Homo-oligomer: A and B are copies of this chain.
Amino acid sequence: MKKLTLLTLVFASILGFSQTDETVLRTIYTQSLTNGKSYDWLNHLSNQIGSRLSGSLGAEKAVAYTKEELEKLGLDKVWLQPVMVPRWIRGAKEYAFIESKPGKTTDVNICALGGSIATPALGLKANVVEVHNFEELEKLGKENIEGKIVFYNRPMQADLIQTFNAYGGCVNQRYAGALEAAKYGAVGVIVRSMNLRLDDLPHTGSMTYGDLPANKRIPSAAISTNDAELLSTMLTLNKNIQFYFKQSCKQLADVQSYNVIGEITGSEFPNEYMIVGGHLDSWDLGDGSHDDGAGVVQSMDVLRLLKESGIKPKRSIRVVLFMNEENGLRGGNKYAEVAKQKGENHIFALESDAGGFTPRGFSFDCTDAAFEQVLSWQKLFKPYLIHFFEKGGSGADVGPLKTDSNVLCGLRPDSQRYFDHHHASNDTFDAINKRELELGAATMTSLVYLFDKYGVNPISNPSELKD
């Protein structure tokens, strides 16, 4: 009899689990795919507002638009969180060519890297030295580099399945290339675009001068992958070719901007905060549809989908649209700073900042116990072809919220096409598939629902119990 009761209980709990959570997830996905708002919001953000570099008019309009849209959702609170952001402007379109001999030139496609200084007003022309990493730079030394343009040409590694790993293996050329080359007296830097395919589009992105004094800084630009191949070939044929480029970018004084925040206040544990977000700023070349308009509108739709699906969160759920992820992370840092000041307990933070492509799962920065909890939910996601649940990074903006016990995570969409568009002029709305975007929003909402319902498993590791 006792055995029977236990069995009944087990069954009831199995049924309870399967019926409730399975049904809720089905409702969330159906809502998103048949009644989602993410695509319409992104259409406005991309096609009516356009690019949103920190401090630009576009960024300002995006703050106003998303605040207004969140206010229409009937959340408990919507507000702007002030944050000072850097303001870098590109100025006139860049111009560059390879001069194989005097009078014989071939135009190439470049764009200034974000944060770079301009060239002299009439441009910069010099011989070129090609390298693939900082070790080669060191080996060449000042005698081979001084007065020249350093051309970083290490391609993204094509045989890595996850393209973000290939990006991670290359991006130091872009970020620190000028800083390193300047040490050896280089006069400028050209970096192969972080793009896995061969095409004509230069891809921008942030770079740093570290502590270099202003008079030691050198201009830095990205070159399209096709033109990187061309430049490399021409250098092989003739070491004495010259490279000319002209860019007019500059760094202006910081300006005030905002994180945009909306909240559904928790019914049982209002002081436990869970956030979901993306970054509102974008680079200036495209309209930032994948990076990170997609993450913005998906995060907004998480709160709307919870409401539409009849879910009343126990914990306080916030959507946070961060400003300035691309060139400063001021928004992410500000949000964490204010949360700390107010003593807000952030138990969970999810960022979508890897494009609006078909979602495959999440990566988690959390304790083993919390991760085991996630794995126990894996089967709930199977009907939606969500299969990727791994420990790993989360998102740049939510990173500063890390504690020993909370869960940070990042949505992991299919990454194959992402770097075709990343930071380039073709990061545009036409590259977004509505269903893929909506599946991402539903997948995020489902995870938020589960963590809100069950909380974060506090036992971080079975071995800790023994200590």
Contact = CB atoms under 8 A, between A and B. Distances in A.
A335 B439 CA distance: 40
Contacts of A162: 385
Contacts of A29: 159, 161
B33 A384 contact: no
Nearest to A31: B159
Given A197-B434, A385-B388, A387-B387, A34 B416 contact: no
A388 B388 CA distance: 12
Interface string A341-369: 00000000000000000101000000000
Contacts of A384: 161
B358 A414 contact: yes
A414 B439 CA distance: 12
Contacts of A23: none
Contacts of A379: none
Interface residues of A, number: 27
A116 to B, nearest CB: 30
A30 interface: yes
Contacts of A161: 29, 383-385, 439
A103 B388 CA distance: 58
Contacts of A159: 29-30, 33-34
A424 to B, nearest CB: 15
Contacts of A435: 158, 163, 196-197, 416
A308 interface: no
A131 B77 CA distance: 46
A417 interface: yes
A436 interface: yes
Copies of this chain per assembly: 2
Contacts of A163: 435
Contacts of A414: 358, 414
A256 interface: no
Given A433-B417, A433-B420, A436-B417, A34 B158 contact: yes
Interface in A372-407: 383-385, 387-388
B385 A33 contact: no
Nearest to A384: B161
A412 to B, nearest CB: 10
A162 B439 CA distance: 11
Residue of A197, A385, A387, A434 ringed by the most chain B CB atoms within 10 A: A385
Nearest to A420: B433
Contacts of A385: 161-162, 360, 387-388
Nearest to A434: B197
Nearest to A417: B433
Contacts of A416: 358, 433, 435-436, 439
Given A416-B436, A417-B433, A439-B416, A33 B158 contact: yes
A25 to B, nearest CB: 11
The 5 closest A-B pairs by CB, nearest first: A387-B387, A30-B159, A33-B159, A416-B435, A33-B158
Given A385-B387, A414-B414, 7 more contacts: A33-B158, A162-B385, A358-B416, A387-B387, A387-B388, A416-B433, A416-B436
27 contacts: A29-B159, A29-B161, A33-B159, A34-B158, A34-B159, A158-B435, A161-B383, A161-B384, A161-B439, A162-B385, A163-B435, A196-B435, A197-B433, A197-B435, A358-B358, A358-B414, A358-B416, A360-B385, A385-B387, A385-B388, A387-B387, A387-B388, A414-B414, A416-B433, A416-B435, A416-B436, A417-B436
